[in-house]
Structure 1
Amino acid sequence: MLTRFRVCLKKPENMLNVPRQTNLINGKGGFLVSASQRYNAKDCRDAVTNFVILDEHAFRVVEGEGFKQLCKKLQPLMTPPSRRTVARDCFDIYVNEKLKLKAFFKSDCRRVTLTMDCWTSIQNLGYMAITTHFVDNSWKNKKRIISFAQIPNHKGETIGKQVEEVLKEWGIRNVSTITVDNTSANDVVVSYLKRRLKNMNGLMGEGGHLHMRCVAHILNLVVMDGLKDQDLSIFSIRNAVRFVRSSPQRASKFKECIEMSRIACKKHLCLDVPTRWNSLYLMLDAAVNFQEAFEKLEGEDVGYKEWFGKTGPGSSSDWEKVRAFVSFLQNFYDATMIFSSSQQVSLDTTFHNLASILCELQKEAMNLNIVVASMGVYMKEKYDKYWGNVVKMNQLLYFGV
């Protein structure tokens, strides 16, 4: 027995053939199960594949030295797969999940809603993504991207035919609503799909509620309409933020100005994205906390004034206007975050939020601050264009309540 023990010490791999003692622990239902398990190559390989998918790693991560060392420490018997193997495993998971989802749509899913988005990339290529939303057998709200494809153009009929092909591929015909941006091309898309779904008896009722205009997109149009005459004030603040973020040296100098001003705010300066007003709000909301630091920077850095040219840095009036904008737009930002959420249903709260926004616009239209009042009037006009007549609104917004 002693000799056998010494052999095992010299050659640990021999232990694989020796029955080993394991601890027993209480499992489900009171049964005793083994606390240790033998090495399972398939389980380890599946775990690696899930790691790559869930954490969105590149396939080559499995060929990195750090990853190999980690695997060796966790399981010495494991040979890390190659990136080609991981790519193949990921594709196999995709195929299997697609088959399961198709089977679910065919047998267990009574109806789905669709959201669709089209855009043009910086390479001037058109793309379209289609997401389906549904309730699974456990009454959980789910969403799945069923198409991400290149499209030849953004014409309504072209997009409509593409969506139709996707629905046929997945075996989907019962569609309750299609949520799209507010463009004329999408009106053509919905009209085309309404005719096709009607032929398949896939509409809910006569299809009067099929077209759901994206509330977040319309709210973006409402806010941008209110801000269009305030571009000069916003432009000056945006330029100030851009100056600070243009080089590490300028950022360092600005940090000194913050310390001299004893500003305790921990927010970070960020630039906005032209097509998303909520990013504009975040930029202004952060910048107003550092007004004193920006004013100090004017005296500390000679290049700061030169950066603005003839217009000069933002004045006290510009900062006051921006501060009023931020206070006014807070409710709109909160509503946009709710409407844009992809992890929870927002239909049941949409009507309440739209009513709250209407009250805010009516109140601000009477504001003593002329700038805010004019913004409120412009935004109210745009709001009324889409939601002023409750009869013309999609009735499902009321059913959601």
Structure 2
Amino acid sequence: MKSMTDKVLVFIDWYLPGFRAGGPTRSCANMVAALGGEFSFYIVTRNTDYCESEPYPDIPENQWIVLPSGERVWYLPEGGISLRTVRQIMESENWSTIYVNGLYSRFFSVYPLLIRKMTGKLNVPVIVAARGMLAASAIGVKKTKKRIFLKTAKLFGLYKGVFFQATHQGEENEIHKEIGPNNKVFVAPNIAQRELLSDEPPEKRQGSLRLISIARIAPEKNLLFLLEALSNVRANVQLSVYGSIYDENYWKSCLRVINAFPDNVRVEVHGVIEPSQIPVALGKHHMLVLPSRGENFGHVIAESMLAGRPVLVSDQTPWKGLEKSHSGKDIPLRMDNWRKAIDYFAGLDNDGFKVWLRGAAQRGQEVSKDPGPVDRHREMFRAVISFHE
């Protein structure tokens, strides 16, 4: 039962109504929606979306705003984010715990921990959600800067006495490796969306395949790898690409491959897609493809299966055993493996492909109805809050 003392102060760079940051925003929003009846969430975030400079329209700044799910959100303008502002918010209430999303954001990850250490306010327990940022593939992006930061943070004792959240056992091991063996780590898997309806898929004709990619266009999402694999497929393939362009040079490399495609491969670029339109987009395709170099969870993978669409993903995500359940394939990032997998699915006729549609829908429902992730989050917050009581 929620009490007046169960106040969780959350720091996150981008929150609702934003969506362009992808997984971290969705992970936090799903957590709040699932546990908002038991804990009072107060969220501090930017008043802009990821990679955007225009503030959200009709949303006041620098005050608590109540959203439809019941959480209170404080939207900070770009020029109003400072160490002093963050400290004032931290000292404005008797928080039960502070929940920090990620590690590398100066304003929303470092400042709360820095204030906690500098002011001696060590009695308020802090949870840091690693959000996949300590995986080798994630550290490999801007590696030198991240290694310097992690080393400095440990020398300064920034994470001393801080709790961590991992979403799977492998991430728990990464936290102990990169942060240290003494921090308590709670394993609380990401909470999937509860329901996602989609139209019937287009007819599946043997020798053709309609694929969809929904991910930001950046090296870690590996769109270029997918495009290069498509260059050598024998089937007729259409790929729809949705996502914000995070790395312009990387996108130029993608365009060079697209412009050289043979006649049997066609690509349509659609740009950013709003979450409400994802089921519609999935409904027009046979499969989701995501050759990611690493995923902490992969909400779009869960959403695809909830919509009854099988997935073709790399083996660098938590989604394993997909082929056994006929919900898709998780395969190594080797070009020939991907070419063969795409040609395999393209070679199925309508009846053969229905097996994979049913398998994906069943796997999606199992994930959606699994009470484990919500239970683990609840147990984490209750355990950490008990340190403050």
TM-score (norm: length of structure 2) = 0.32
Which structure has more RCO (C-alpha within 8 Å, separation ≥ 6)? 2
Instruction: Identify the structure with the greater helix proportion.
Output: 1
Q: TM-score, normalised by structure 1?
A: 0.31
Higher strand share: 2
